[in-house]
Amino acid sequence: MHTPVLLQQAIEGLRLNSQGFYIDATVGEGGHVSEMLKKQTRILAIDADSEQVKRLKNRFGHDKNLILEVGNFSEIEHIAKKQGFFPVDGVLFDLGLSMRQLKEGHRGFSYKELDDPLDMRIDANTLLTAEEILSQKSEKELSEIFSKNAEEIFSERIAHAIATARRKKGITTVGELVSIVQSAHKGINRSTVARIFQALRIEVNDEITNLKKGLQGALSIIKKPGGRIVVISFHSLEDRVVKLFARQHHMNMSTMKPKTKGAKAGFERSATLRIISC
């Protein structure tokens, strides 16, 4: 079960009213949407992962206020207009992956699930898997992926280790990639491995391009003035896109971070909530 990060703050940021139309662009396991439904608003909920949407249809299928759609939020304008959600009062983006995708997805998202295949596609129709990227991209291209998507200082060494290893045998599992990354330099620790997995996932799913398109699409369907775009991001690359978007369009933006204590806080620590007033 996914524990939504910054749940109440995101809901308050959307300023839900019972006459309004809202979009949850990343419905995931339904944590945010079930809270939104309590306010009796009309909601269009989207996710690129058809398995997530299928599960939610079983859970919420009866709710007349909720429409569930499989789709990429890069297409949000098209999906919203098709469903009559135009103009909308608020759009929520809770970026990244849900706990179920990470722990039970068996798609290689987590560097801890050593036997999983290196797939990493959120949407099963995405062109290239992580395994295919690792086998098809040149050493230089791999190094660029790691430095661009993860600002990883060992990018060149890791790309070289991958290029050397794949000459002997294809890299097909999480465990194989983890060992190769760790072998690239003695200074490499678990956080380097986590960053390399994140960089590959961003590449496989074209996450930065999709986020830019998603924000632009949200802006084209949101009520002006007064609509809200709320974004929860988990790394600086995404957050930078959100900040730049608000600045370029001269929109007010407020920011919140979770109040977390000690090591227990886990991945929540890296979350940033941005509320953009349109």
Ligand X SMILES: C[S@@+](CC[C@H](N)C(=O)[O-])C[C@H]1O[C@@H](n2cnc3c(N)ncnc32)[C@H](O)[C@@H]1O
Interacting residue ranges for ligand X, rule: CB under 6 A:
2, 4, 26, 28-32, 46-49, 52, 72-74, 94, 96-98, 122, 210
CB contact at 8 A, 273 and 231: yes
End-to-end CA distance of the chain: 33
- Looking at the Cβ atoms of 60 and 154, the one nearer to ligand X is 60
At its nearest, how many Å lie between ligand X and the CB of residue 122?
A: 5
At its nearest, how many Å lie between ligand X and the CB of residue 5?
A: 8
At its nearest, how many Å lie between ligand X and the CB of residue 161?
A: 29
- Looking at the Cβ atoms of 20 and 28, the one nearer to ligand X is 28
- Looking at the Cβ atoms of 2 and 228, the one nearer to ligand X is 2
Question: Which tokens is 250 given?
Answer: 């001269």
User: Count of H helices and E strands in the chain?
Assistant: 12, 7
Q: How far apart are CA 147 and CA 161, in angstroms?
A: 15
At its nearest, how many Å lie between ligand X and the CB of residue 47?
A: 5
* H helix or E strand, kind and range, residue 211: helix 207-221
Q: Which amino acid is at 229?
A: I
- Ligand-binding site membership of 31 (annotated): yes
- Ligand-binding site membership of 73 (annotated): yes
At its nearest, how many Å lie between ligand X and the CB of residue 232?
A: 7
- Ligand-binding site membership of 32 (annotated): yes
Q: How far apart are CA 11 and CA 91, in angstroms?
A: 11
- Please give the sequence-ordered ranges of beta strands (E in DSSP) within the chain, or none if there are none: 21-24, 42-47, 66-70, 90-94, 228-233, 252-256, 272-277
- Looking at the Cβ atoms of 82 and 185, the one nearer to ligand X is 82
- Please give the sequence-ordered ranges of beta strands (E in DSSP) within 124-199, or none if there are none: none
- Ligand-binding site membership of 24 (annotated): no
- Ligand-binding site membership of 52 (annotated): no
At its nearest, how many Å lie between ligand X and the CB of residue 159?
A: 25
- Looking at the Cβ atoms of 35 and 139, the one nearer to ligand X is 35
Question: Which tokens is 26 given?
Answer: 């990343």
- Looking at the Cβ atoms of 47 and 131, the one nearer to ligand X is 47
- Ligand-binding site membership of 63 (annotated): no
Q: How many CA atoms lie within 13 A of 245 on its CB side?
A: 25
Q: Which residue ranges make up the annotated binding site? A: 30-32, 47, 73, 94, 101
Per the annotation, binding residues for S-adenosyl-L-methionine are 30-32, 47, 73, 94, 101
